[in-house]
């Protein structure tokens, strides 16, 4: 997290997490409380491990994490994940078409099972098909891997279609309360089609929710296979967003030791922080031109092994071929293009 973002979050939640000093001891500052919480979210370390690192009590660290996450949700949820306007939906749709070749797309939808400790006296409510206890993060993501809408806390035993049907997103879509634009023509045609959210086979097919053709139908139909491929390109945005979220906040790679209520607050806070860290506008793919003359030095790259080396040599070969095609000279290593 950049320092400026840290200071901004602190300015928003500082008043809610600050404690008064007593005659017995001085309270921990709001800055240190926020740092402890972010450390927990970023590493996924146990409360006891953080207690040793910051010389705090075990229960104190647990209370700080829950308190700070609650303050983040209270003060930053509407700002980091606002309800999209009609213009915002159209902008998202344009980005999906430009970057991922899927028209009239409002976002990609999927659910993520977050593993938690078995809640007391919960039976099989939180026992998922992955043979673990979990709660579900259902998210709608735009073309820049930012969360547009989230729903956290569903029982792990439910399917994607099950907790989508009971979510506020499904109800608002059916009641047309999400400022979804009117039908628009597909690119290059006069055919008007509704704006849709894309999901996988687990979701139902609705007017504003698109799913791929079943494998049995697409197997012998080339047009359906192409459609499934295009839809898959758009739908993988939510998978990539979950991957970025898990790599940024490593608590997703471990079992979250919190009751379902606190776990819901913690997961919501990570989604808010993800949007604050993630830039809102990412350069569109294909819009970057090749470098002009005298802008890039071509230097020999030494091999180090692994995938990174292969990618570096691939870039080197691309630049070499580009230089040769531009100048006709094979003496390219010490030249500029």
pLDDT of residue 324: 64
Interval 207-235 mean pLDDT: 84
How far apart, in whole angstroms, are the C-alpha atoms of residue 119 and residue 259?
A: 6
Q: In this predicted model, what pLDDT tens digit does every residue of 223-275 receive, in sequence order?
A: 888 888 888 888 989 999 999 999 999 999 888 888 888 899 999 999 999 99
- The pTM is what? 0.77
The DSSP 8-state label assigned to residue 116 in this structure reads B
Percent over 90 (pLDDT), the chain? 19
pLDDT of residue 296: 37
Percent over 70 (pLDDT), the chain? 83
Tokens 């012998």 belong to residue? 220
In the chain, where does DSSP find H-type helix? 3-17, 30-43, 47-54, 58-80, 86-100, 160-165, 168-174, 215-218, 222-248, 260-277, 306-327
Sketch the domain layout of the chain as residue ranges.
3-79, 81-259, 291-337
Q: Which of 256, 279, 282 is nearest to 268 (CA)?
A: 256
Residue 312 has pLDDT above 60, yes or no: no
Q: In this predicted model, what pLDDT tens digit does every residue of 111-170 receive, in sequence order?
A: 888 888 888 887 888 888 888 888 888 999 998 999 999 988 788 887 777 778 888 888
105 against 302, higher pLDDT: 105
């Amino acid at each position: 997290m950049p320092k400026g973002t840290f200071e901004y979050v602190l300015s928003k939640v500082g008043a809610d997490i600050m404690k008064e000093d007593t005659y017995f001891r001085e309270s921990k500052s709001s800055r240190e409380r926020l740092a402890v919480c972010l450390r927990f979210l970023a590493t996924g370390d146990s409360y006891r491990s953080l207690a040793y690192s910051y010389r705090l009590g075990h229960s104190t660290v647990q209370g700080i994490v829950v308190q700070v996450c609650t303050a983040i949700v209270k003060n930053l949820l509407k700002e980091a994940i606002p309800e999209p306007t009609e213009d915002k939906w159209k902008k998202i749709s344009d980005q999906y078409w430009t970057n991922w070749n899927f028209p009239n797309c409002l976002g990609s939808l999927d659910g993520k099972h977050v593993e938690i400790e078995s809640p007391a006296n919960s039976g099989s409510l939180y026992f998922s098909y992955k043979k673990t206890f979990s709660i579900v993060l259902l998210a709608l993501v735009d073309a820049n891997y930012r969360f547009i809408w989230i729903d956290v806390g569903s029982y792990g035993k439910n399917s994607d279609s099950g907790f989508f049907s009971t979510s506020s997103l499904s109800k608002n879509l059916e009641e047309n309360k999400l400022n979804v634009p009117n039908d628009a023509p597909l690119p290059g045609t006069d055919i008007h089609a509704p704006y849709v959210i894309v999901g996988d086979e687990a979701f139902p097919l609705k007017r504003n929710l698109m799913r791929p053709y079943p494998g049995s139908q697409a197997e012998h139909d080339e047009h359906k296979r192409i459609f499934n491929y295009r839809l898959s390109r758009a739908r993988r945005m939510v998978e990539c967003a979950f991957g970025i979220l898990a790599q940024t906040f490593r608590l997703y790679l471990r079992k979250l030791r919190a009751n379902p209520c606190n776990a819901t607050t913690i997961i919501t806070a990570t989604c808010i922080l993800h949007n604050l860290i993630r830039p809102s506008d990412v350069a569109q793919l294909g819009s970057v031109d090749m470098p002009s003359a005298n802008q890039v030095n071509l230097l020999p790259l030494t091999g180090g092994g692994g995938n990174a080396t292969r990618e570096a040599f691939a870039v080197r070969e691309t630049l070499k071929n580009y230089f040769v095609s531009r100048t006709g000279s094979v003496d390219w290593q010490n030249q500029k293009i």
